[in-house]
């Protein structure tokens, strides 16, 4: 590899005689066959993290089990029958409500304290797509904004010690159902923007009673303001929007789940929203949107609520089809912090590590750790996108003019990435911060990368890649208002000369430590 002399003037480019590049062969990075729901052990191993993280335990559910049979339930819809059994058992102290084999038909099921809803293998629950089956509206949060709407196929509010277990299947009604067709026909996704931060909750009603109050799409399982939650073994086929989505919750364990919501717009797999103390392990997701996603509220309403997403461990998980494997954002108002993702495989996901926010979203992310991850056949192995598109953000999607920093200005900083194998990607890194809040303090070590394009850095202040090997077809590193960038013992395998395309007055302090 040769390096041309494009850097000059305001850029500082240094070649240092140093020790040979260290052996940066990553160790113990798992294969796809070693992670995901098929590999889930019976017991939960101790949780280790680079921050203070509690050892989570499964919720305390009494030993009583009530087994329900389709022969005892109404023939057309079993919603009321299931909910009556849940309520009765909860009031008598709690236990397990087990659905018998066959196909159950239901609207909104509501979990109560000390209840495990057990759906064993051989049992399916097919959820209704009729608006009436999710009325009256319940308290929920849609895309980071509080409102009253459908809630979820399986919903809980203010409960403790709840569980959803078994290897049965939850089945969506499909995008041709009444709720979905009405929602998309009314372009309802944009009506949330009309909610102002001082609007009372009782005026934020989307209950399907009129075209103006079109019901929001129900999530699959969405507890809100609950403590001590277990989701284990469940299979989810299709969805209308987000699937497993705890909000304002504490002490959550999600393990051994399998979600397939390919081709579903906004069909996220697992969304952890303004929730703390979370373990996600041995799960397999294939989705029409992001797979494992961390969120913390949107803009002014998210700041008003001010509940961060924090203390989250994702381990031994598999991501297949999806927009992003592990995504922070784009709702970031109260902050995303203390996230540890390790020993995971992203196989065929468009983006591996994804960091999303927008100029008006506030908050951001910090103290984010990623270790021992294999990324296969990605469009972008690592992607920071803090501007968004003009379609949604208008002029705010342009880097210039640069606005003043205010309470809605987001950030991403203190990101630590170690022991990564990228088997094949179009782009290794595409990092787009914002001029008034550049991505900062990003540290990568022991990356073994095969890609088409070399890194592209826009609006970043402080990034180090250390002890790594990059094999690429392209020969140009792009730097746009990028400063304090260090390549420390990075071996770059390319055909021809390594060149740097430099733009922006603040691009400087580029240190290349090499043989």
DSSP labels, 448-501:
EEEEEE--EEEEEEEEEEEEEEEEES--EEEEEEEEEEEEEEEEEE-SSEEEEE
Instruction: At 411, list the tokens.
Output: 């950030």
Per-residue pLDDT at 58 exceeds 50: yes
Average pLDDT over the chain reads 93
The candidate with the shortest Cα–Cα distance to 314, out of 53, 129, 491, is 53
Per-residue pLDDT at 192 exceeds 80: no
Q: Which CA distances in Å does 471 have to 20, 31, 218?
A: 18, 21, 44
178 SS3 class: helix
Instruction: At 189, list the tokens.
Output: 């996704």
Instruction: At 253, list the tokens.
Output: 């364990």
Least confident of 3-17, 126-140, 336-350: 3-17
pLDDT of residue 193: 66
Confidence of residue 186 (pLDDT cuts 50, 70, 90): confident
The candidate with the shortest Cα–Cα distance to 275, out of 232, 319, 237, 305, is 305
pLDDT of residue 185: 85
Confidence of residue 16 (pLDDT cuts 50, 70, 90): very low
pLDDT of residue 27: 61
The candidate with the shortest Cα–Cα distance to 476, out of 502, 507, 440, is 502
Q: Average of pLDDT values for 402-423?
A: 97
Q: Which tens digits make up the pLDDT trace of 339-383? A: 999 999 999 999 999 999 999 999 999 999 999 999 999 999 999
DSSP code string of 125-172:
EEEP--GGGG-S-EEEEETTEEEEE--EEEEEES-EEEEEESS-EEE-
Q: How many CA atoms lie within 13 A of 377 on its CB side?
A: 8
d(CA 140, CA 155): 10
Q: Average of pLDDT values for 386-406?
A: 93
The candidate with the shortest Cα–Cα distance to 375, out of 342, 354, 349, 341, is 349
**In which element (H, E) is residue 417 found?**
strand 411-432
Q: Which tens digits make up the pLDDT trace of 218-262? A: 999 999 999 999 999 999 999 999 999 999 999 999 999 999 999
The candidate with the shortest Cα–Cα distance to 332, out of 307, 315, 353, is 307
Greater confidence (512 vs 356) lies with 356
Q: Which tens digits make up the pLDDT trace of 133-173? A: 999 999 999 999 999 999 999 999 999 999 999 999 999 99
Instruction: At 204, list the tokens.
Output: 């934020």
Beta strands, E only, 263-410: 270-273, 276-281, 284-287, 292-295, 309-315, 318-319, 324-328, 336-347, 351-356, 364-376, 378-385
Domains of the chain (ranges; CATH) run 57-218 (2.160.20.10)
Per-residue pLDDT at 10 exceeds 90: no
Per-residue pLDDT at 23 exceeds 50: no
pLDDT of residue 259: 98
pLDDT of residue 210: 87
Residue ranges of alpha helices (H) inside 152-227 are 178-185
d(CA 455, CA 508): 16
In angstroms and rounded to an integer, the radius of gyration of the C-alpha atoms of the chain is 24
Q: Which tens digits make up the pLDDT trace of 360-369? A: 999 999 999 9
d(CA 151, CA 223): 9
How many whole angstroms from its chain centre is CA 96?
30
Q: 133 with 107: CB under 8 angstroms?
A: yes
pLDDT of residue 134: 98
Q: Which letter, b or e, does each residue of 260-277 get, where b requires 16 or more Cβ atoms within 10 Å of its Cβ?
A: bbeebebbbbbbbbbbbb
pLDDT of residue 87: 98
pLDDT of residue 18: 33
Q: Average of pLDDT values for 499-506?
A: 95
**In which element (H, E) is residue 393 found?**
helix 390-393
d(CA 482, CA 461): 6
Least confident of 3-7, 171-175, 216-220, 314-318: 3-7
Q: Which tens digits make up the pLDDT trace of 279-309? A: 999 999 999 999 999 999 999 999 999 999 9
């Amino acid at each position: 590899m040769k390096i041309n002399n494009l850097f000059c003037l305001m850029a500082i480019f240094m070649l240092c005689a140093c020790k040979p590049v260290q052996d940066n062969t990553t160790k113990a990075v798992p294969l796809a066959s070693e992670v995901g729901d098929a590999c889930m052990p019976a017991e939960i191993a101790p949780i280790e993290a680079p921050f203070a993280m509690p050892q989570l335990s499964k919720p305390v559910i009494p030993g009583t089990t009530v087994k329900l049979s389709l022969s005892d339930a109404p023939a057309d819809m079993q919603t009321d029958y299931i909910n009556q059994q849940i309520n009765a058992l909860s009031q008598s102290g709690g236990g397990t409500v087990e659905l018998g084999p066959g196909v159950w038909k239901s609207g909104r099921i509501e979990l109560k304290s000390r209840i495990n809803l057990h759906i064993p293998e051989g049992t399916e629950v097919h959820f209704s797509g009729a608006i009436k089956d999710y009325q009256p509206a319940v308290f929920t949060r849609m895309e980071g904004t509080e409102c009253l709407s459908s809630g979820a196929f399986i919903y809980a509010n203010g409960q403790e010690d709840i569980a959803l277990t078994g290897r049965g299947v939850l089945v969506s009604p499909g995008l041709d159902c009444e709720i979905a067709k009405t929602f998309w026909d009314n372009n309802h996704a944009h009506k949330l923007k009309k909610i102002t931060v001082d609007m009372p909750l009782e005026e934020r009603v989307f209950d399907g009673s009129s075209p103006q109050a079109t019901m929001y799409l129900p999530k699959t399982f969405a507890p809100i303001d609950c403590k001590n939650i277990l989701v284990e073994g469940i299979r989810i086929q299709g969805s209308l929007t987000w699937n497993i989505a705890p909000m304002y919750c504490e002490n959550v364990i999600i393990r051994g789940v399998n979600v397939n919501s390919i081709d579903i717009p906004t069909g996220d797999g697992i969304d952890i929203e303004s929730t703390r103390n979370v373990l996600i392990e041995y799960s397999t997701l294939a989705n029409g949107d992001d797979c494992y996603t961390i969120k913390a509220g949107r803009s002014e309403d998210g700041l008003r609520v001010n509940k961060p997403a924090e203390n989250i461990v994702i381990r031994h998980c598999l991501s297949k089809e999806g927009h992003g494997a592990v995504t922070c954002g784009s709702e970031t108002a109260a902050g995303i912090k203390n996230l540890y993702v390790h020993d995971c495989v992203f196989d065929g996901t468009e983006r591996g590590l994804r960091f999303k926010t927008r100029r008006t979203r506030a908050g951001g992310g910090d103290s984010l750790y990623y270790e021992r991850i294999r990324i296969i056949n990605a469009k972008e192995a690592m992607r920071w996108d803090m501007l968004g598109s003009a379609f949604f953000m208008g002029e705010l999607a342009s880097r210039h003019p640069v606005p003043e920093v205010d309470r809605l200005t987001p950030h991403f900083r203190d990101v630590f990435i170690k022991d990564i194998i990228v088997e094949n990607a179009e782009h290794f890194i595409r990092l787009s911060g914002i001029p008034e809040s550049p991505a900062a303090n990003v540290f990568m070590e022991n990356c073994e990368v095969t890609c088409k394009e070399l890194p592209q850095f826009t609006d970043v202040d402080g990034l180090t890649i250390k002890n790594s090997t990059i094999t690429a077809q392209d020969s140009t590193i792009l730097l746009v208002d990028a400063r304090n960038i260090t390549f420390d013992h990075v071996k770059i395998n390319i055909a021809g000369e390594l060149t740097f395309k430099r733009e922006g007055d603040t691009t400087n302090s580029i240190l290349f430590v090499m043989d």
